Amino acid sequence: MMETWLAALGGATLGVMEALGQFAFLTQSTLRWIFKGKIEWRQTLIQCARIGADSLPVTVMTTFFTGMVLALQGGASTEHFFNQPLFVGMLVGFAIVMELAPVMTALVVAGRAGAAIAAELGTMKVTEQIDALYTLGTDPVRYLVIPRFLAFVLVMPFLVVISDFSGILGGWLVAKVKYQIPPSVFWHDIIDSMRVRHFMHGYIKAYVFAVAISLICCYKGVTARGGAEGVGKSTTQAVVLSMVAIFVLDYLATAVLVALGIT
Residues found near other proteins in the complex (CB under 8 A): 123-124, 127-129, 131-132, 134-138
Residue 226 DSSP class = S
CB of 258 to other proteins, least distance (A): 43
Nearer to other proteins, 16 or 177 (CB): 16
CB of 96 to other proteins, least distance (A): 37
Nearer to other proteins, 8 or 185 (CB): 8
66/201 Cα distance (integer angstroms) = 19
Left if phi > 0, otherwise alpha if psi is -120 to 50, otherwise beta: which for 107? Answer: alpha
CB of 127 to other proteins, least distance (A): 6
**Cβ-based neighbour number of residue 159 at 10 Å:** 26
Residue 216 DSSP class = H
**Cβ-based neighbour number of residue 19 at 10 Å:** 13
Strands in 104-160 per DSSP E: none
Nearer to other proteins, 46 or 200 (CB): 46
CB of 234 to other proteins, least distance (A): 17
Nearer to other proteins, 77 or 138 (CB): 138
42/228 Cα distance (integer angstroms) = 29
